[in-house]
Amino acid sequence: MLRDTHIKINIDHLENNITSIRDYCKGTRVGAVLKSNAYGHGSKYMAKALYDMGITTFLVATLLEAMELKNENDDYNVIIMGHTPDKYLNQVIDKKITQTVFTYDQAKLLNDLAEQPVKVHVKIETGFNRLGMQITEDTASTIKKIADLDKIIIEGAFTHLSLENRASDLKQFNKFMDLMNEVEKMGVKIPIKHVCDSISMVLHPDFHLDMVRVGALLYGLESEEKGVLDIKPILSFHTKPSHIKTIKKGETISYGNRWIAGEDSIIATLPFGYSDGYPRNMYGKGQVQIKGKFYPIIGVICMDQCMAHVDKDVTLDDEVDIINENMTVSDIAAMAETNKNEVVSRFTPRVPRVYIKNKQIIYVENGLIK
């Protein structure tokens, strides 16, 4: 670890979450969503840890993310949930990545480029209106035509819910299932049908089908599960002061001199800023904790540093908690007026990720160097 500013990932808590999710899903395959650097948790080591726990299916958004995982371990079963432009499909084939398709044309192109069988999941539009095959009277026969391509294996089919309420989700689910039934009547078997993300997995156990696509919940970032599943946050964020000094009454802090000392004040400079992923709009709201006590972040948050108004109890050797069990991702998200996933997915590679199990460091990912 070459920097005091670091993110800790608690692998014991990850194991706890996986056990809870598996118990709840009773045998349904758990697909781990590792897009966006595993929601900022570091996808390489997260994939390894999950694989050691018996999770073998990983879902990502883009081709590069899929290639990152496949380069780590070719045995990972990696599904790209997003679109891959035609000109990159040869990479999908070379690396044995499973691609989501939502047009016959792209399935045909994959088929024509491939020399070996190639697995796809078909994405169906049921109301979210982002990506997917729209349902018309021809959709079932289009899927049959894809299944009939000699190298294409339709391993799965899925849709994504908009999570407005139970009724709207049920409407989408039923649309999906009606189509699946129609397709099966045409003799096409689709082994892995999946609908649920974290929230719908918790709210609609009757929609689990053959796989759930779990992101947020795995990282302990959900809230819908309270009282239903035992889920623990796995990420915390820490640093140490780089400088401590006393400034005189009337002196100011940071850009625009926006914070003015009302009295002589002890100021700790902290070596993290918005380019580490800490939201810049935490200006005027953010707090850190040192030895259990809260101190306000004062002045405009800079790219690489910020300042906290501390007291004489604070020394250069003290650990500073930016995110912990008392100042959670959820608290930061509320203060920064965004959601938890955005907060964590913005943590940048220059923050080392330190993986902890049984209170021991088991791996450090220094994202910038190999």
Kindly write out the interface string for residues 125-164 of this chain, putting x where it contacts ligand PLP by CB under 6 A and - elsewhere: -----------------------------------x----
| Interface pick for ligand PLP out of 65, 125, 169, 197 (rule CB under 6 A) | 197
CA distance 307 to 74: 45
CA distance 43 to 66: 10
CA distance 99 to 119: 7
Please confirm, yes or no, whether 35 is among the known catalytic residues.
Answer: yes
Please confirm, yes or no, whether 355 is among the known catalytic residues.
Answer: no
3-state DSSP assignment of residue 330: helix
CA distance 62 to 83: 7
Q: Which is nearer to ligand PLP, 214 or 333 (CB)?
A: 214
Intra-chain end-to-end CA distance of the chain, in Å: 13
Task: Please report, as residue ranges, which positions from 6 to 35 form the binding site for ligand PLP (by CB under 6 A).
Answer: 33, 35
CA distance 356 to 361: 5
Amino acid making up residue 144: K
* Span of 8-16, 194-202, 286-294, 319-327 interacting with ligand PLP by CB under 6 A: 194-202
CA distance 94 to 76: 14
Q: Which is nearer to ligand PLP, 215 or 277 (CB)?
A: 215
Q: Which is nearer to ligand PLP, 131 or 282 (CB)?
A: 131
Q: Which is nearer to ligand PLP, 77 or 198 (CB)?
A: 198
| Interface pick for ligand PLP out of 42, 132, 156, 215 (rule CB under 6 A) | 215
| Interface pick for ligand PLP out of 30, 97, 140, 214 (rule CB under 6 A) | 214
Find where tokens 């929609």 sit: 207
Q: Residues 8, 24, 35, 45: which is the catalytic one?
A: 35
CA distance 4 to 2: 7
Please state the closest distance from residue 224 (CB atom) to ligand PLP, in A.
10
Task: Please report, as residue ranges, which positions from 159 to 188 form the binding site for ligand PLP (by CB under 6 A).
Answer: 160
CA distance 278 to 66: 26
Please state the closest distance from residue 21 (CB atom) to ligand PLP, in A.
10
* Span of 47-55, 195-203, 311-319, 324-332 interacting with ligand PLP by CB under 6 A: 195-203
Q: Is 213 in the site for ligand PLP (CB under 6 A)?
A: yes
Q: Which is nearer to ligand PLP, 35 or 240 (CB)?
A: 35
3-state DSSP assignment of residue 202: helix
Kindly write out the interface string for residues 59-88 of this chain, putting x where it contacts ligand PLP by CB under 6 A and - elsewhere: ----------------------x-------
Phi, psi at residue 161, to the nearest 5°? Answer: -95, 150
* Span of 214-222, 245-253, 265-273, 304-312 interacting with ligand PLP by CB under 6 A: 214-222
* Span of 43-51, 176-184, 193-201, 347-355 interacting with ligand PLP by CB under 6 A: 193-201
Listed residue (225, 215, 181) closest to 81, CA to CA: 215
Q: Which is nearer to ligand PLP, 161 or 327 (CB)?
A: 161
Q: Residues 185, 226, 255, 293: which is the catalytic one?
A: 255
Q: Which is nearer to ligand PLP, 97 or 268 (CB)?
A: 97
Q: Which is nearer to ligand PLP, 82 or 271 (CB)?
A: 82
Task: Please report, as residue ranges, which positions from 216 to 245 form the binding site for ligand PLP (by CB under 6 A).
Answer: 216-217
Q: Which residues of 327-337 are buried (b: 16+ CB within 10 A; e: fewer)?
A: bbbbebbebbe
Listed residue (365, 293, 331, 336) closest to 8, CA to CA: 365
* Span of 168-176, 191-199, 260-268, 328-336 interacting with ligand PLP by CB under 6 A: 191-199
Token couple for 180: 């699946």
CA triplet 363, 367, 368: central angle to 5 degrees? Answer: 135
> What does 165-227 look like in DSSP terms, one character per residue?
-HHHHHHHHHHHHHHHHHHHHTT---SEEE---HHHHHH-GGG-TTEEEESTTTTT--STTTT
CA triplet 23, 205, 60: central angle to 5 degrees? Answer: 80
Count of residues in contact with ligand PLP, rule CB under 6 A: 12
Contact of 222 with 198, CB cutoff 8 Å: yes
User: Which residues carry out catalysis?
Assistant: 35, 255
Q: Which residues here bind ligand PLP, judged by CB under 6 A? A: 33, 35, 81, 160, 197-199, 213-217
